[in-house]
Every structure is written in C-alpha cells, then in structure tokens.
Amino acid sequence: MRLGKIFSIIAIMINLILGTASADTGSIRFVYFDQFEPFSWLEDGRMQGMFIDVINEVFEVRLGIPVEHEGYPWKRAQLMVMEGTADAMCTIATSERREYALPVSTPVVRINFKLFTSADHPDRDRLAGIRSLRDLQDLSLVDITGSGWAATNLKDQDVHFVNTYEHMFLLIKLGRVDAAVRNDWQTLYLIKKTGYSEDIVALPQPMTAEPMEYTILIGRNSPFAAEIDRIDAVLKQMEEEGVIQRLFEKYR
C-alpha cells in the first residue's frame, strides 16, 4: 500500500474520531456566547443563564443526554459548530447558519424589540405612538458598541454607541438621548440588575413585525443531528406545559 494512501486512511480515521467524540461519551457539546446575560454567561468558571436552564431540561432531564456547556467569544463559538468541534448552539437560525447547522422548529425563546425611554421623558406619549423603525428618524438613540442588530436595522438612524449598559441607561435617564431600541428580555433584566427600574420604562408596542426566535441549532455533521425531531417534540411539550416560562421566571 502506498504511503500517501496510508496517510489518507489515517487522516480519515482521525476525523471520524474527532467528529464522533460527543457521541462516544454520550454527551452533547453546546457552545455559547459567554457574555450574553441573562441568556448565557460565564461566572465563576460555569456557564449559566436562560439557555442553559432550558437545554439542561431538554437533554439531561427529559432525553437522558448529558450536556457539556462551554462559553466563548461569539464568533469562535459559531466557528466551532461550523467546523464540527462542537455539536450545537442556541441562536437565530439565519440562512448563513442553516448552511452548516439544522434548526429545531420550536424556539427556546421569542424576543420582541421595544422602545426603552426615560420614565419622565417629556414626549413619552408621542413615543408610545411609534409603531415601526422607520418612524424613529427624528429621535436620538443609544445602543451598545458592537450590536449587530443595531448596525443592520438602525444604520440610517442617529445612534450613539457606548461600551456599557450602565452608560446606556444613564444617558436615557438623564435625557441625553431619547430612547434605545432593544430586545425586551435582556434589557428589562439588565435595567433591574443595574438599579434603573424606576428611571427607565419599556413602551408596550413591539418595534418589529415579528419577534426574533432563538432556537437550538445542531451542526449538520454532529451525530445528534439525527435526534432533531425528538428534541423538537420535547421542546414543544415543555412549551405547552409552561415549563419554559417557569424556568425563565427567575430572570425577570
């Protein structure tokens, strides 16, 4: 047998071993953005958050599959699923991600984008009448540096970018900006955590036609891709039973 053919066979065997590592150990390897509180964040060396709680219930409690939870910078986490060194992640099923991962039909959470403004904003009633992003042209807005959603959806607006949530909330409270357009779950949680609950309000109207759905995405080459229907059935049952909502209560 030629030496080149031997090396090819060895390379194939190594790839098979690496690709099925999670299956051999019986565990599924989830990767997350490690600074996405309250959905997923790393604290004291352990991943925690809404995504982790739901995924533990789905896989460990109901399917009997152990889960490895790991947090990384978000680009790296996605690359790990793309390359097959991790099995799954929890995020929005964009067309780009669908090329290398299969989405579970039932979402983990649905997120609405709302307008957050000062509790004593002089034009609060007018702001409450805004129903779409295109009606924001005459407002000064604020968001976090690096927000991909703002960069895409608010690119024609007057947006002041800052580095911390505390700074963002302070600008809103002081009236230096009119508002922020942010996802409701995360922003309400952080407003409470940073002590701005009396100063900033979420106006009730959603600012996008449809909520954004965060779902489980399984890498196409993962051995757990074959379990996608079972995973969906469990998530659907949990949603119908109100289990997901109960898991989320501690993050309100």
Report the share of the chain in percent with pLDDT over 90.
83
Q: What is the pLDDT of residue 156?
A: 87
Q: What is the pLDDT of residue 169?
A: 98
Cα distances (Å, whole numbers) of residue 170 to 61, 113, 143, 180: 42, 20, 12, 12
Residue 187 confidence (pLDDT) above 50:
yes
> Phi and psi for 107 in degrees, rounded to 5?
-75, 155
Q: What predicted TM-score, i.e. pTM, was given to this entire model? A: 0.82
Which residues are 200's β-sheet partners? 118
Name the 3-class secondary structure at 177: coil
Domain coordinates in residue numbering, the chain: 3-109+212-251, 113-206
Residue 12 confidence (pLDDT) above 60:
no
The residue whose two tokens read 């019986």 is 26
Q: How confident is the model at residue 15 (pLDDT cuts 50, 70, 90)?
A: very low
- Common-topology check for domains 3-109+212-251 and 113-206: yes
CATH code for the part of the protein at 3-109+212-251: 3.40.190.10
Q: What is the pLDDT of residue 223?
A: 96
Name the burial class of residue 100, with classes exposed (0-12), middle (13-18) and buried (19+) by CB atoms within 10 angstroms of its CB: middle
* Residue-wise pLDDT tens digits, 157-170: 999 999 999 999 99
Instruction: Domain 113-206: state its class.
Output: alpha beta
Q: What is the pLDDT of residue 22?
A: 44
Task: At 216, list the tokens.
Answer: 């489980």
Residue 8 confidence (pLDDT) above 70:
no
* Residue-wise pLDDT tens digits, 39-58: 999 999 999 999 999 999 99
Peptide bond into 122 cis (omega under 30): no
> Do 13 and 214 form a contact (C-beta atoms < 8 A)?
no
